[in-house]
Amino acid sequence: MKINSNFLNLHESYLFVKIEAMAAECQKNHPERRLIKLSIGDVTRPLAPTVVKAMKKAVEELASEETFHGYAPDKFCYGYDFLLEAIGRHYQKIFLSAGVKEQIETEEIFVSDGAKSDLGSLLDLFSKDNTVLLPDPVYPAYFDANVMDGRKIVFVSASEENGFLPLPSAKTQGELIYLCSPNNPTGAVYSREQLKTWVDFARARGAVILFDAAYEAFVKGEKPRSIFEIEGARECAIEICSFSKTAGFTGVRCGYTVVPKELRREGVSLNALFRRRQTTKFNGASYIAQRGAAAALSEQGARETALCRAYYENNAKIIMAGLKNLGFWFTGGENSPYIWGKCPKGFTSMSFFRCLLEEAGVITTPGCGFGQGGEGYFRLTSFAKTADTIEAVERLKALF
């Protein structure tokens, strides 16, 4: 019996687990102190009333023989019609407001229990021989999942110089390209022209883009919310979406991934491959969660979830105003729940993380946890309660 030895190349534990442990240790040492968590990207607002109503109804349906639902239908890989149609309409709205003549077909949408699962599951489709291109800094799950598969990983630097929005050059390597916009951790958002550069690059190379759009709902104005707003993307991109941040579903668990029919490599449809993967290793997202997700995309649901996001956007403004006031350099926060700040001189990511934890009782995420390129930075999220966000900013002001 041989284990998958690639696991031995991983750091001991997933970044957020480690940070939790350090915060718990600090709390143990200072039981009187109330720690404020601006670290992990977890939401705090309750679900929208429309979503709650739909999920209660779904539970009631499961309580009666006449309306009971077992396994979700095989036909569209366990996505219910009502949710697939709602996701299709969601894309229609995005495309319409972007002036794009695109459409996402039902067979192209794969409903799941969340984006993190899909990001892991999709890797089954690709040979271990592909080189992975990751921005640096980057969401650590992209990195770790590929280390587990033993793929070669190369980086493209996201830095102040390129506004944390790296673009490919003639020297850029990689067949499996991860892009996340609005970005985690930097909050940077690609423009249409920039994404077009990536799409053209991927098409010319026969590469595939895994486009993480988990934060698309936070985009306001002109910037693209979907890679499929970009011409040619249907031939080179897969888009991974989530209800976690859009509708507060971190505890409910529902997401979806779009694999366009045109996306073929080595003569094989990746849509067909993913369908085969999902029908073998997955059995569908909860009926209750699917009903909730569809309700979140309804007109009333969209209004309610927008109100909820407005709450987080207000938090982002409070954080941004505070950092500005303190003279800290930062980016993000405009079309994103994340604010990416630069540590003051003399601090590393970790020493600044410890300083904020121990001196201010504020839990942040050290930039170095997102890769070498994150060294010297820290990430704040706008997902805390407003009162806590205000207090965290006051604590920072008192400290510096």
Nearer to its own copies, 252 or 362 (CB): 252
The nearest distance, CB 317 to its own copies, in angstroms, is 20
How far apart CA 395 and CA 37 sit, in angstroms, is 13
Per CB under 8 A, the list member of 85, 107, 144, 200 interacting with its own copies is: 144
Nearer to its own copies, 267 or 346 (CB): 267
* Interface mask toward its own copies for 26-65; x: CB under 8 A: --------------x-xxxxxx-x--x--xx--xx-xxxx
Per CB under 8 A, the list member of 162, 197, 250, 300 interacting with its own copies is: 250
Q: Taking the CA atoms of 4, 147, 206 and 212 in sequence, report the sign of the dihedral they define.
A: positive
Count of residues in contact with its own copies, rule CB under 8 A: 86
Give the 3-state secondary structure of 207-239.
CEEEEECCCHHHCCCCCCCCHHHCCCHHHCEEE
In the region spanning residues 349 to 368, those forming contacts with its own copies, defined by CB under 8 A, are none
DSSP string, 270-339: HHHHHHHHHHHH-----HHHHHHHHHHTSHHHHHHHHHHHHHHHHHHHHHHHHHHHHT--EEE-SSSSEE
In the region spanning residues 312 to 351, those forming contacts with its own copies, defined by CB under 8 A, are none
Residues 6+ apart with CB under 8 A from 59: 288
How far apart CA 347 and CA 19 sit, in angstroms, is 18
Per CB under 8 A, the list member of 10, 96, 307, 321 interacting with its own copies is: 10
Q: Is 2 in the site for its own copies (CB under 8 A)?
A: yes
Q: Is 279 in the site for its own copies (CB under 8 A)?
A: yes
Nearer to its own copies, 48 or 86 (CB): 48
In the region spanning residues 68 to 97, those forming contacts with its own copies, defined by CB under 8 A, are 68-72, 74-75
The nearest distance, CB 201 to its own copies, in angstroms, is 13
Amino acid (one-letter) located at 365: T
Q: Is 378 in the site for its own copies (CB under 8 A)?
A: no
The nearest distance, CB 25 to its own copies, in angstroms, is 14
Q: Is 213 in the site for its own copies (CB under 8 A)?
A: no
How far apart CA 22 and CA 186 sit, in angstroms, is 23
Per CB under 8 A, the list member of 225, 277, 309, 379 interacting with its own copies is: 277
Amino acid (one-letter) located at 313: E
Is residue 79 within 8 A of residue 97, CB to CB? The reply is no
Of 139, 136, 132, 92, nearest to 115 by C-alpha is 139
Residues 6+ apart with CB under 8 A from 115: 212, 214, 240, 241, 242, 244, 255, 257
Q: Is 232 in the site for its own copies (CB under 8 A)?
A: no
Is residue 236 within 8 A of residue 263, CB to CB? The reply is yes
Q: Is 270 in the site for its own copies (CB under 8 A)?
A: yes
Select from 9-17, 162-170, 325-333, 390-398 the region that touches its own copies (CB under 8 A): 9-17
328, two tokens: 């800290």
Select from 100-108, 179-187, 246-254, 342-350 the region that touches its own copies (CB under 8 A): 246-254
17, two tokens: 């687990």
Nearer to its own copies, 248 or 333 (CB): 248
The nearest distance, CB 140 to its own copies, in angstroms, is 8
* Interface mask toward its own copies for 96-135; x: CB under 8 A: -----------------xx-xx-xxx--xxxxxxx-----
Of 213, 136, 229, 219, nearest to 181 by C-alpha is 213
How far apart CA 191 and CA 136 sit, in angstroms, is 19
Select from 13-21, 28-36, 102-110, 215-223 the region that touches its own copies (CB under 8 A): 13-21
Per CB under 8 A, the list member of 103, 154, 251, 314 interacting with its own copies is: 251
230, two tokens: 């970009």
How far apart CA 101 and CA 106 sit, in angstroms, is 17
Q: Is 153 in the site for its own copies (CB under 8 A)?
A: no
Q: Is 167 in the site for its own copies (CB under 8 A)?
A: no
Backbone angles phi, psi at 183, to 5 degrees: -80, 140
Q: Is 266 in the site for its own copies (CB under 8 A)?
A: yes
